[in-house]
């Protein structure tokens, strides 16, 4: 057991974690689309609510999706460290955690700024670009396939920038891509 192995980053996007994050992305996007559709329908009970309540509910859904994705990363890292009998919080995991928190703060701040300024059509492209930077930052030699996910995010951001109503399809594609990436990585581990 050398120092390099003990000082490895346990918070990696692979296998079941990627599948779960894909499910969370797809599920939250579907719930937001359903809420917005029902809000615009006259016969729906959601149509009686104010826009502020709908906004708070959507922000809560996004927070829950982010929380569940973060917990999936954490528990996967904890299980990986325990299996290898390494400490969970080493220098690389602390650095990765700080980067992750920094990206969350940047994403939340920029998205709330755009929302408050009324640039709602730029929320999805901005999130996808920030998420692409996050994936690019966490790629390493063993996880070069994360560049494909990062490139997909940039492409979907460009499409959403040109066609703002494409947001749900973009998140659906991103969720399916995460699930596919997780299945591919899981089969690599199994073989």
What contacts 175, CB < 8 A, 6 or more positions away?
A: 22, 23, 24, 25, 26, 27, 29
Domain boundaries, the chain: 11-190
**Local confidence pLDDT in tens for the 191 residues of the chain:** 455 545 566 567 778 888 999 999 999 999 999 998 888 887 878 778 888 888 899 899 999 999 999 898 888 888 877 887 877 788 878 888 888 899 999 999 999 999 899 898 999 999 999 999 888 887 766 667 788 888 999 999 999 999 989 999 999 999 999 999 889 887 876 66
The whole-angstrom separation of Cα 32 and Cα 168 is 9
User: Would you list the DSSP string of 41-55?
Assistant: -TTSGGGGS-HHHHH
Token code pair at residue 106: 């940047």
Cβ atoms 100, 15 nearer than 8 A: no
3-state class of 95 per DSSP? Answer: helix
The radius of gyration computed from the CA coordinates of the chain, to the nearest angstrom, equals: 18
């Amino acid at each position: 057991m050398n120092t390099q192995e003990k000082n490895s980053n346990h918070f990696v996007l692979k296998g079941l974690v990627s599948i779960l994050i894909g499910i969370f992305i797809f599920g939250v996007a579907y719930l937001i689309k359903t809420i917005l559709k029902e809000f615009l329908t006259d016969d729906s009970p959601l149509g009686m609510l104010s826009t502020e309540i709908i906004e708070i509910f959507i922000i809560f859904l996004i927070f829950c999706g982010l929380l569940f994705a973060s917990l999936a990363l954490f528990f996967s890292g904890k299980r990986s460290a325990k299996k290898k009998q390494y400490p969970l919080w080493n220098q690389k995991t602390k650095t990765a955690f700080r980067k992750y928190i920094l990206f969350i703060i940047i994403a939340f701040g920029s998205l709330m700024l755009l929302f408050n300024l009324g640039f709602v059509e730029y929320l999805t492209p901005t999130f996808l670009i920030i998420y692409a930077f996050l994936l690019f930052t966490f790629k390493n030699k063993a996880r070069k396939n994360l560049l494909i996910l990062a490139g997909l995010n940039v492409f979907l951001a460009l499409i959403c920038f040109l066609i703002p109503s494409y947001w749900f399809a973009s998140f659906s594609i991103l969720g399916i891509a995460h699930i596919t990436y997780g299945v591919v990585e899981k089969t690599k581990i199994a073989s």
